[in-house]
Amino acid sequence: MATPSTPPLTAKTPGILRRTTAPAPGIVHLGFGNFHRAHQAVYTDKAVAAQGGDWGIIGVSSRSSRITDAMQEQDMLYTVVEISPEGSSFSVPRVHTDAFTAAHQPEKLREAIGAASTRIVSLTVTENGYTYSPATGSLNLTDPNVQHDLVHREAPRTSIGQMVRGLQERARTHSEPITILSCDNLADNGHHTQRLVREFASRLPAAEATETLAWIDTHVTFPSSMVDRIVPATTDHYRRLVAEHRGYRDLVPVPAEPFSMWIVEDNFIAGRPAWEVGGAVFSNEVAGYEQLKVRLLNGTHSLIAYLGALSGAATIPDSVTIPAIEAAARSVLREEYLPSVSVPSSVDVNAYEEQLFSRWRNSALGHRTSQVGSDGSVKLRQRIPLPALQMLDDGRVPQLLALTTAAYLSCIAPINGFRPGVHADAMEDPARKLLSRLANESRSGHELAHKVLAEHHLLGEELAERAEFTNRTGELIDVLHTHGPLAAIAEASGKAGPSLPNLQTPSLQTAQGTL
């Protein structure tokens, strides 16, 4: 950690250049976490540096004030630490004009979205922040926060509620158009966001609903975008690195891999920064890029994280360098995700795959299996159902997608005293309570898979109907619980040896399966 005498990062820190004219705010960003600060903020900083424009960003966190307070203390500055095995490099974006927390200043948020000067509201609120139901894909009307926001105009708690209340403010005051830009890993994220915003508006009292929907339909665009950069959580290691190499104290530096990609649909009703200057690509093939990313990268990432955690691996590089996990990752990517993707014309899939494995092996990043494994209930819903359904329709059971689901459930909802290990225990999940209850009521993997998939529709209503998938997931849970991840990989890859359990009468052990 930096010594107490290390001076804090501020606008006065030697070597930190302020812009001669700071950009006025034009973007309100919801989800002011590490990913935004290592991605969109960096592109925006480069765009403003090259072409100017009032595209300063107001960063809004939902509840926690850890980052917003630190950013205020540091004159809206922070360090991006680019980490590769060859070394680290440092940069300081200078594009944020304010930062606050929605829970503490709800009125300020409504005014910020409502201001005529705001032309884009962007989001990185994670899959969980869209308050959608994994079962239906629609707005989760059973969520108490959604219910609150539909009834109370003041102090909305959900991102969707906050946006709709801000849009109503615009409609009432000046009626200037605005773009809502999702930067989260959701299939078809522009349409998904539009659907949720419209659904929320349509649930308001009748006259208000009609008026709000009509305004949204004529004044708001929702481009899709594919975002990609691995950004692990900040630790003291990165704070120390900044202090040592830069000589100042940064409370909230952001570590990131060197790779960064942003593909955006060019549909901005009220203008946009010249993000292409920073390397963003404007394309009409965003859907293909999103499928590629959400399935090949994120979907495979989930498999690596869950199998790794169950094998005792703390990090993604530790996990993907276990040969059986690498082999399973390559098979799920090639044989089960890829066939469902419309690969964009400029992408060479072999090169893309090799690049992914080399990014995942970046051990200097220390990207944790517990981070990638968190929020699986809302992430897997984006990653698994469509490719799985396509394979089932072709008459094949997606073995490794079932293994991903089984490994996820083994981490989050272990049955009968099975201990998945510290890395699985550290995974957070909005469905953890429900899934633990279902696990406590289950005596076999089959029962658990049936309750979770067929009855609770965790992977959607369509996959809930496919008994082949549910049964295979249940069988693989039993193998994971009794024989561990290597045996389960062998079983799912059709390479099971004679020592595998009798799947008809699974016997669950209480200890963690061994490698």
The footprint of ligand CS2 on residues 225-244 (CB under 6 A) is 228-230
**CA atoms of 368 and 377, how far apart (whole Å):** 18
Q: Is residue 405 a contact residue for ligand CS2 (CB under 6 A)?
A: no
Q: In this complex, which beta carbon is closest to ligand CS2, that of residue 216 or of residue 316?
A: 316
Q: Are 418 and 510 in contact (CB under 8 A)?
A: yes
Q: In this complex, which beta carbon is closest to ligand CS2, that of residue 62 or of residue 97?
A: 62
Q: Which tokens is 292 given?
A: 């590629």
Q: In this complex, which beta carbon is closest to ligand CS2, that of residue 231 or of residue 435?
A: 231
* Cβ within 8 Å of residue 318, ≥6 positions away: 308, 363, 369
Give me the least distance between CB of 384 and ligand CS2, in Å please.
13
Q: Are 220 and 113 in contact (CB under 8 A)?
A: no
Q: Is residue 369 a contact residue for ligand CS2 (CB under 6 A)?
A: no
Give me the least distance between CB of 498 and ligand CS2, in Å please.
36
Q: Is residue 298 a contact residue for ligand CS2 (CB under 6 A)?
A: yes
Q: In this complex, which beta carbon is closest to ligand CS2, that of residue 41 or of residue 113?
A: 41
Which neighbouring-strand residues pair with 262? 227
The footprint of ligand CS2 on residues 185-204 (CB under 6 A) is 185
**CA atoms of 26 and 58, how far apart (whole Å):** 8
Cα separations in angstroms, 241 against 367, 423, 443: 17, 25, 49
Q: Which of these ranges, 94-102, 139-147, 224-232, 329-337, lies near ligand CS2 under the rule CB under 6 A? A: 224-232
Q: Whose CA is closest to 37, among 93, 107, 85?
A: 93
Q: Which of these ranges, 40-48, 223-231, 329-337, 385-393, lies near ligand CS2 under the rule CB under 6 A? A: 223-231
# of chain residues touching ligand CS2 (CB under 6 A): 9
> DSSP letter at 85?
T
Q: In this complex, which beta carbon is closest to ligand CS2, that of residue 150 or of residue 435?
A: 435
Give me the least distance between CB of 412 and ligand CS2, in Å please.
14
Give me the least distance between CB of 305 and ligand CS2, in Å please.
7
Give me the least distance between CB of 447 and ligand CS2, in Å please.
28
Q: Is residue 423 a contact residue for ligand CS2 (CB under 6 A)?
A: no
Q: Whose CA is closest to 67, among 106, 112, 34, 103?
A: 34
Give me the least distance between CB of 504 and ligand CS2, in Å please.
35
Among 379, 450, 451, 457, binds ligand CS2 (CB under 6 A): 379
Conformation bin of residue 449: beta by default, left when phi > 0, alpha when psi is -120 to 50:
alpha
Give me the least distance between CB of 52 and ligand CS2, in Å please.
29
DSSP string, 122-184: EE--TGGGG-B-TTTSSB-TT-HHHHHHHH-SSS--SHHHHHHHHHHHHHHHT---EEEEE-S
Q: Which tokens is 66 given?
A: 């850890």
Q: Which of these ranges, 199-207, 222-230, 346-354, 429-437, lies near ligand CS2 under the rule CB under 6 A? A: 222-230
Q: Is residue 372 a contact residue for ligand CS2 (CB under 6 A)?
A: yes
Q: Are 8 and 248 in contact (CB under 8 A)?
A: yes
The footprint of ligand CS2 on residues 459-488 (CB under 6 A) is none
Q: In this complex, which beta carbon is closest to ligand CS2, that of residue 76 or of residue 254?
A: 254
The residue sitting closest to ligand CS2, measured at its beta carbon, is: 301
Q: Convert residues 103-142 into a mask of x (bound to ligand CS2 by CB under 6 A) and - (unbound).
A: ----------------------------------------
Q: Which tokens is 182 given?
A: 């999702």
Cα separations in angstroms, 54 against 75, 274, 349, 369: 18, 11, 38, 39
Q: In this complex, which beta carbon is closest to ligand CS2, that of residue 246 or of residue 379?
A: 379
> DSSP letter at 368?
B
Q: Convert residues 158-187 into a mask of x (bound to ligand CS2 by CB under 6 A) and - (unbound).
A: ---------------------------x--
**CA atoms of 67 and 50, how far apart (whole Å):** 27
Q: What value, to the nearest 5°, has the Cα angle with vertex 33 and ends 337 and 407?
A: 35
Q: Which of these ranges, 281-289, 371-379, 460-468, 504-512, lies near ligand CS2 under the rule CB under 6 A? A: 371-379
Q: In this complex, which beta carbon is closest to ligand CS2, that of residue 301 or of residue 451?
A: 301
Give me the least distance between CB of 229 and ligand CS2, in Å please.
5
Tally the C-alpha atoms within 13 A of residue 339's C-alpha that lie toward its C-beta.
15
Q: In this complex, which beta carbon is closest to ligand CS2, that of residue 187 or of residue 454?
A: 187
**CA atoms of 39 and 58, how far apart (whole Å):** 15
Q: Are 471 and 446 in contact (CB under 8 A)?
A: yes
Q: In this complex, which beta carbon is closest to ligand CS2, that of residue 316 or of residue 392?
A: 316
Give me the least distance between CB of 394 and ligand CS2, in Å please.
26
Among 272, 301, 446, 472, binds ligand CS2 (CB under 6 A): 301
Burial status of residue 67 (CB atoms within 10 A of its CB: 0-12, 13-18, 19 or more):
buried
Sheet with 225-228: list strands edge to edge: 225-228, 261-264, 281-282
Q: Which tokens is 510 given?
A: 């209480």
Q: In this complex, which beta carbon is closest to ligand CS2, that of residue 298 or of residue 399?
A: 298
Residues at the contact surface with ligand CS2, assessed by CB under 6 A = 185, 228-230, 298, 301, 371-372, 379
